[in-house]
Amino acid sequence: MATTSPLSRAIRDFAVVGGGIAGCTVAYELARRGHSVTLYEQSSIAHAASGRNMGLLLNQVEVEVVKIMRHSLEIYREVEHAARPFNLRQLPQLLLARDAEQMKVARAHAAALREIGVEAQPLDPQQVRSEVPQLSEDIQGGYLLPGAWALDPAPATQAFAEAARVAGAEIRTGARVSAIDRHGVFTDEGRRPAGGVIVASGPWAVDLLPSLPVTAARGWVLLTAALPFALPWIVEEMSWPDQDRLGRASRLPTLADVASGGHDEPAASALALAPLTDGRALIGTSMAPSLREAVEGLDMPQRVAARALEIAPGLRDVSIARAWYGMRPMAPDGMPIVGRLGESGVFVHGGHGSLGMMTAPATARWLVDEILGETRPELKSLSPARFAESASSAPSRLSSGGTAPAP
């Protein structure tokens, strides 16, 4: 049942920090409901991970994530024709097993997905290779899932920014927020008052809220030239850990890790092969703890390419046009952090990790529902309060005096 809090009655004007998918979806939600909102982006819209990811909305094995993803899909459809096109398209997803161990994982994932109504059709190695002969003769087979989706991530993020602008939001790019408090934000142009501040600045959120348990995890993508064959599926190797392991794998490196020179070793890597609408394809991806500003991970394009060739030797002669990285904002359990911080009028929409394109439209809608006084049960498990205990047991990371109270 909807309840109205005194806070939600008081706030009419909002500042949103960050012009990635997390910030643009929140700005859209606030503006379309008639609230005054200014979004501050230090660079340009979608210039960070939100414009540099693989754009996949996949059937994850965690039931909760699939449900959030389905809700996000409905919201993408809302803005799809209203703002700018972003090639939202349905594609089958192949859970590919290259050895017996991965086959076990694929089987377990297929069973879990069937329980939530996702069909999973087993394919033997011959069936897989008859569609994609470029794959190795050694693969064990896999499961074909209908109902995965892909989109072009930068235009999708820009579409939310544009839809927010059309609904009345002010979108300010090249505007860095250097500090926040309960009365608004500070930029190079001075204080900008706001009744509510939503921090949605990806892995940089800790610069404004040092108590937030978010780390940066660097991931790489290769872009091919046009493929000389049609790739019928999104191919996903079954070695990507679950959200919880991913979150824990992206802890901060220790001084000893940095001293040994191995802090940027990937915590996870798996082949993901995704066809684009123009015949090219994306090859990914990896995840490595990052110090953000350090030069690191220089061998990752090579590692991603080598892994791809082990699994798909027939891609050997495909030209690679570009490679780039993005920084995932990781929470300790790999799930988004969404909600109010204390009673301060400061809210967080962050920590979307590997799932930002899949989950941010839905979590933004629920967050704004809550800000406006409704209770959203979906956000209970995503609340910043879930880290309160670990915050008190990790003082070195979490006690350095944020502008809002620790969750």
Ligand X SMILES: Cc1cc2nc3c(=O)[nH]c(=O)nc-3n(C[C@H](O)[C@H](O)[C@H](O)COP(=O)(O)OP(=O)(O)OC[C@H]3O[C@@H](n4cnc5c(N)ncnc54)[C@H](O)[C@@H]3O)c2cc1C
Question: Does 326 sit near ligand X (CB under 6 A)?
Answer: yes
Q: At its nearest, how many Å lie between ligand X and the CB of residue 59?
A: 12
- Binding mask of the shown chain, residues 277 to 306, with x at each position contacting ligand X by CB under 6 A: -------xx---------------------
Among 356, 384, 402, 407, binds ligand X (CB under 6 A): 356
For CA atoms 161, 166, 167, 172, the dihedral sign is positive
Alpha-carbon gap, residue 270 to 62, rounded angstroms: 18
# of chain residues touching ligand X (CB under 6 A) = 41
* Distance of closest approach, residue 9 Cβ to ligand X, in angstroms: 28
Nearest distance from C-beta of residue 48 to ligand X, angstroms: 3
Asked if 188 and 96 count as a contact pair (C-beta separation under 8 A), the reply is no
Q: Is 47 in the site for ligand X (CB under 6 A)?
A: yes
Pick from 194, 283, 358, 362 the residue near ligand X by CB under 6 A: 358
Beta-bridged to residue 288, according to DSSP, are 218
334 binds ligand X (CB under 6 A): no
Residue found by looking up tokens 């809550």 in the block: 370
Q: How far apart are CA 131 and CA 166, in angstroms?
A: 44
- Which CB atom, from 141 or from 184, has the smaller least distance to ligand X? 184
Q: How far apart are CA 379 and CA 339, in angstroms?
A: 8
Which one, 4 or 178, has the nearer CB to ligand X?
A: 178
Stretch in the footprint of ligand X (CB under 6 A) among 3-11, 14-22, 162-170, 299-307:
14-22
- Residue 177 binding ligand X, by CB under 6 A: yes
Map the footprint of ligand X across residues 211-230, applying CB under 6 A.
219, 221
Reported in sequence order, the residue ranges of 298-344 that DSSP labels E, i.e. its strands, are 320-330, 337-341
Q: Is 176 in the site for ligand X (CB under 6 A)?
A: yes
Strands 36-41 and 56-57: unpaired
Buried b (16+ CB within 10 A) or exposed e, 261-289: eebbbbbbbbbbbbbbeeebbbbbbbbbb
Q: Which stretch binds ligand X (CB under 6 A): 5-13, 30-38, 54-62, 82-90?
A: 54-62
Residue pair 69/158 in contact by the 8 Å Cβ criterion:
no
Query: Of 17-46, which residues contact ligand X (CB under 6 A)?
Result: 17-23, 40-43
Instruction: Say if residues 349 and 367 touch (Cβ distance below 8 Å).
Output: yes
**Alpha-carbon gap, residue 352 to 203, rounded angstroms:** 10
247 binds ligand X (CB under 6 A): no
Q: How far is the CB of 215 from ligand X (least distance, A)?
A: 13
Applying CB under 6 A, the residues found at the interface with ligand X are: 17-23, 40-43, 47-50, 53-56, 176-177, 200-202, 204, 207, 219, 221, 284-285, 326, 328-329, 350, 352-358
